[in-house]
Copies of this chain bind each other. A is one copy, B any other.
Amino acid sequence: MTDEKQSAVKAVLDLWNSRIQAADKLFNALTDEQLQNEVSPRRNRGIYLLGHLTAVHDKMLPLLDFEKQLYPHLDDIFLSKPDKAVMEITSAKDLRDYWKDVNSKLSTHFNGLKPEQWFEKHTSVSKEDFIKEPHRNRLNVVIGRTNHLSYHLGQLALLKN
């Protein structure tokens, strides 16, 4: 493992951690009532985005070959269907707990990886394809998911007073 490779891993993980912290801070600042608001008229509600982000991060557990998804029942409500398609959705209280739980599990697994393990393939690419496309590794998943989080954080920030 060269210094440069470690630098790349550190840069990616530092940004992931800073965005998770920013999200935690924002969710803590928003009340359950504020989460019921749409980020802009006729757009997603805050609570939908909280569930959506939780489900996407939950699916990183198997994608990164760590463990099974913890809350698969979120997929239908927050991934397959758009906001307001399901009448009774998971409560803000439960979603807040799941969000913390999923990110805490990811953090534990992240901290247990050796730098070179970040360059191993993720589970949705075959061994054959990975030989041709070695950038489809764990680090790449975190880079993509950090941007996905940033995208929705930009929207969630609109819910603040």
Contacts and interface: CB of A to CB of B under 8 A. Distances in A.
Interface of A: 2-5, 7-8, 10-12, 14-15, 19, 39-41, 43, 116, 119, 134-135, 137, 139-140, 143-144, 146-148, 150-155, 158
| Chain A contact residues: helix, strand, loop or mixed | helix
26 contacts: A3-B134, A4-B5, A4-B119, A5-B5, A5-B8, A7-B119, A7-B139, A8-B119, A8-B139, A10-B135, A11-B139, A11-B143, A12-B143, A14-B135, A15-B144, A15-B147, A19-B147, A40-B40, A41-B41, A43-B158, A147-B147, A147-B150, A150-B154, A151-B151, A151-B153, A154-B155
A4 B144 contact: no
Contacts of A143: 11-12, 15, 143
